Structure 1
Amino acid sequence: MKTIKIKNPFVDGPVSLGFIAESIQKHSSKTQIGGHSIFLGQVRNDKKEGKEVTAIEFTAYQEMAIQKLVQIREEIFVKYNLECMHVYHSLGKIKKGGICLFVFTSSKHRKPAIKACDEMVERIKKEIPIWGKEIYNDDTHTWKENIYE
């Protein structure tokens, strides 16, 4: 079984585009990899009851979230025989247009990378204790409900 390096998946503020580009570029030297899949979650400017979402403020029960994420990563890593997997989720206030989730999977072939990336995103939404408070243009807020589509 491959050794899975565990890094803190949480970043303060949005996941920067420079960090994403650098992560992708670092994999160009890993020639055993034939396919990558990337998911970027972005804060939308949803409209609800005449109000516009301007940001989402993310919080998490970090200790539990990291433990659960480690478990899920190990399961998916083995299930799809991955070469690499990186997961980063924002904490704090992320303005509309900001990247709040970055999942990057790599394998010898494209289909395992794609399936693993999709499963990781779904399981993060369903199983990891992360919450988002939608902040509206009138400075009111409501807790966001995850919609599994």
Structure 2
Amino acid sequence: MVQLVEHIDLNEVYKLLADTKAGGTCVFVGTVRNHTPQREDAEVTDLRFEAYDEMALAEMEKIRQQAIEKWGLHQAVIIHAIGKKEVGEPVVVVGVASSHRKEAFPACQFLIDELKKSVPIWKKEFFTDSSHWVSPTP
């Protein structure tokens, strides 16, 4: 399952990963923090995310399938929020269910790392005094 959503429901993510064959479930949740290393003098007030939906979903599914094949996963999810997100809100969740934990941890890390590298989702940071796009490409 891959999705771009306005709101991430972590309970729903866990339900999507439930599988009676799975002995290990690993989930990573990325949230909005109140600071960024690039601006130590200013506090982050919120983030805004935009995506090229069709391309983003296709790339997310490609990454998901790679993880399933490489680690023999029973389930895998990649969900990213779009729109305005406040400090403390989840903005991305990746999760896997596998027979054992030794497959779950590296598969989960692969999902978030590849998502950040290649999926066309853009982040704009807002501060009390300004805003800026974090990068021109994902």
TM-score scaled by structure 1? 0.82
CA gap of 1:58–1:27, structure 2 versus 1, over 3 A, is closer
Give the aligned length.
Answer: 134
Cα deviation for residue 49 of structure 1 reads 5.2
State the match for 1:142 in structure 2: 132
Q: 2:85 aligns with which of 84, 94, 113?
A: 94
State the match for 1:41 in structure 2: 30
- Unpaired segments ≥5 residues, structure 1: 1-5
Q: Spell out, residue by residue over 1:64-114, the C-alpha distance to the aligned partner (whole angstroms, 9 max, x if none).
A: 111111111111110000000111100001011110001110000111111
What percentage of residue pairs aligned between the two structures are identical? 34
Instruction: Look up the equivalent residue of 1:103 and give its one-letter code.
Output: V
CA gap of 1:52–1:82, structure 2 versus 1, over 3 A, is same
Instruction: Look up the equivalent residue of 2:4 and give its one-letter code.
Output: F
State the match for 2:68 in structure 1: 77
SS at match of 1:71: helix
State the match for 2:50 in structure 1: 59
Q: Spell out, residue by residue over 1:31-64, the C-alpha distance to the aligned partner (whole angstroms, 9 max, x if none).
A: 2110010000001111515221111100011111
Cα deviation for residue 27 of structure 1 reads 5.0
SS at match of 1:46: coil
TM-score scaled by structure 2? 0.88
In structure 2, C-alpha distance between the alignment counterparts of 1:88 and 1:98, rounded to whole Å = 14
- Unpaired segments ≥5 residues, structure 2: none
Instruction: Look up the equivalent residue of 1:34 and give its one-letter code.
Output: G
Instruction: Look up the equivalent residue of 1:37 and give its one-letter code.
Output: C
Root mean square deviation of aligned Cα? 1.9
Q: 2:4 aligns with which of 7, 10, 14?
A: 10
